[in-house]
Structure 1
C-alpha cells in the first residue's frame, strides 16, 4: 500500500510539473553530455600517451663539423668519442633504463632523409656531409628521460640530446585544456540543472501542501512525506543521464568507430566500451545531485 501511494504521488508530481520536469531532463542531458565528453577526451589522451610514449625515442645527436657548441670544439665526433658513448649506454647507471640503443650513421640518416622528402627539389641540395650521426635510444620508461639526458648531455662528441615526447606534449596540452574547458562548461550546466531541480521540487511541494499537511496530522514520518518529491527529481535527472549516455554511445559509434577509425587507423581511439564505463558514473552524478537538491529544498518547505 505504501509503495503504491508513493508511486501515485510521484506520477501526480511529474504530471503537474511536466514542463519543469522536461526542462530538468534536457538540462541534465546536456550537462552530463559535456561531462561524459570530457571523460572520453581524457580516456583518449591516456590511450594516445600509452601508445605514442611507448614508441618515442631519445635522440643523441653527435657533433657535426663546424658546430659552435663547446663540447664540439674538436670538430666532428670521433670514433673514440662514439665508443665512449656506447660504454656509457652499457654502464650500470644507464643500462637498466634502456630497452634498445641504435646507432645511425650519417649515410643512414641521409638515406632516411631522401626517402622522407622524396620528390622535393630543395632536398636534392642536401648531401651526406650535412647529416648528423646519432644514437636512437628506446627507453623502458619514457618518463625517465631526464636520467639519460643528464648523463649524456655535455659529453665530448655530443651536440644535443632530444626527447621525441616534446613533439606530442603540445598536442596533449591542447587536449587537456579542451577537457578542462569542457568540464568547466559542464559544471556550469550541472549548477543550472541543480537549481532547476530545486525549483521543480519547490513547486511540487507547494502545489501539494494540503496533502502533506494531512499526512503530518495522521503521523506520517518526514521520510515518507519527502520520498516522493526526492524520487521525482532523481527520476528526471536519471532520465537525463540515460539520454546523455545514449547520446555519447551513438556519437562514438557513428563518428568514431564507423567513420573516424576508418580514416585514422594509426592511433588507438575511444570506443563504445569506454562509454559503457562512463555511463554508470553519469547516472550516479545525476541521482546524487537530484537527491541533494531535493533534501536541501525539502528541509525548508517541509517544516512542521
Structure 2
C-alpha cells in the first residue's frame, strides 16, 4: 500500500511539472553526454598509447647530398659511414637497448610514402631520388631514446635522430587537453543540472505543501514524505543518463566504427562494448546527482 501510494505521488508530480522534468532530462542528457565523451576519449587515448608505443621507432636519417648539418660536411653519407653506423647499432655497447634494426633505402622509403599518401594530393609529388635513407631502430624500452640520440648526434653521415615517441607525446598531449576541456564543460553542465533538479524539487514540494502537511499530521515519517520528490528527480536524471548513453552508442556504432574505423584500419578504435561499460557509470552519476541534490533541497525547504 505504501509503495503504491509513493509511486502514485511520483506520477502526480511528474504530470504536474512536465516542463521542468523535461528540462532536467535535457540538461542531464547534455552534461552526461560530455562526461561519457570524456571517458570514451580517454579510453581511446590509452588504447592508442598501448598500440603505438609498442611500435615506436627511432630513425637515424642519413645525410642527403645538400644537407647543411655539421655531420654532413663531407656530403652524402658514404658506404663506409653506413657500414660504421650499422656496426655500432649491432655492437655490444647498444645491444641492451636495441631490439631490432633495419635499413630503409630510397626505393623502400618512396614505396612507403606512396602507400601512405595514396589517393591524396601528395601522392607522386616526391621522386625516388629525393627520398632520404635511414636506419629504423626499435628499442627494448621506448623511453631510452636519449641514449641513441647522444650516441649518434655527432656521428658523420647521420643528419638527424628522430624519436617517434616525441611526436606521439605531442599528439596525446593535445588529445588529453581535449579530454580536460570536455570534463570541464561536463562539470559546468552537471552543476547546472544539480541546480535545476533542486529548483524542480522545491517547486514540486511547494505545490503540494497541503498534502505533505496532512501527511505529517497523521504521523508520516520524513523519509516517507520526501521519497516521492526524490524519486521524481532520480527518474528524470536516469532518463537523461540513458539518453546520453544511447547517443554515445549511436555515435560510436555509426560514426567511429562505421566510418572512422575504415579510415584508421591499422589500429582498433573504441566500440559499442566500451559504451556499454560507460553507460552504468553515467546512470550512477545521474542517480547520485539527483538523489543528493533532492535530499539537500528537501531538508532545507520542506519543513512542515
The residue correspondences of 1:235-250 to structure 2 (distance < 5 A) are: 235-250=235-250
Residue in structure 1 matched with residue 206 of structure 2 by the alignment: 206
Q: Distance in 2 between matches of 1:261 and 1:114?
A: 24
The alpha carbon displacement at 1:199 in A equals 0.7
Q: Deviations over 1:212-243 (max 9, x none)?
A: 22333333332222222112111110111011
Q: Distance in 1 between matches of 2:210 and 2:112?
A: 84
Q: Distance in 2 between matches of 1:162 and 1:300?
A: 63
Cα distance change, pair 205–91 in 1 and its aligned pair in 2 (3 A): farther
Count how many residue pairs are aligned between Structure 1 and Structure 2. 297
Q: Is the 8 A contact 2:37 2:248 kept in 1?
A: yes
Cα distance change, pair 147–233 in 1 and its aligned pair in 2 (3 A): farther
More moved, 252-261 vs 187-196: 252-261
Q: Distance in 2 between matches of 1:140 and 1:222?
A: 65
The alpha carbon displacement at 1:185 in A equals 2.3
Q: Deviations over 1:1-29 (max 9, x none)?
A: 32222222222221221211111111111
Q: Distance in 1 between matches of 2:33 and 2:125?
A: 49
More moved, 46-55 vs 203-212: 46-55
Cα distance change, pair 47–74 in 1 and its aligned pair in 2 (3 A): same
The residue correspondences of 1:13-92 to structure 2 (distance < 5 A) are: 13-63=13-63, 68-71=68-71, 76=77, 79=80, 82-83=83-84, 86-87=87-88, 90-91=91-92
The alpha carbon displacement at 1:201 in A equals 0.4
The alpha carbon displacement at 1:194 in A equals 1.2
Q: Distance in 2 between matches of 1:80 and 1:122?
A: 29
1:233 equivalent to 2:233? Answer: yes
For 1:220, what is the secondary structure of its paired residue?
A: coil
After TM superposition, the score normalised by the length of structure 1 is 0.82
Q: Is the 8 A contact 1:117 1:123 kept in 2?
A: no
Q: Is the 8 A contact 1:77 1:158 kept in 2?
A: no
The alpha carbon displacement at 1:137 in A equals 0.6
For 1:95, what is the secondary structure of its paired residue?
A: coil
Q: Is the 8 A contact 2:29 2:241 kept in 1?
A: yes
Residue in structure 2 matched with residue 137 of structure 1 by the alignment: 137
Residue in structure 1 matched with residue 303 of structure 2 by the alignment: 303
For 1:55, what is the secondary structure of its paired residue?
A: coil
Q: Distance in 2 between matches of 1:225 and 1:121?
A: 76
Residue in structure 1 matched with residue 190 of structure 2 by the alignment: 190
Cα distance change, pair 111–96 in 1 and its aligned pair in 2 (3 A): closer
Aligned CA-pair RMSD: 3.1
For 1:175, what is the secondary structure of its paired residue?
A: helix
Cα distance change, pair 219–153 in 1 and its aligned pair in 2 (3 A): farther
Residue in structure 2 matched with residue 162 of structure 1 by the alignment: 162
1:112 equivalent to 2:109? Answer: yes
Gaps spanning 5+ residues in structure 1: where? none
After TM superposition, the score normalised by the length of structure 2 is 0.82
1:283 equivalent to 2:283? Answer: yes
The alpha carbon displacement at 1:299 in A equals 1.6
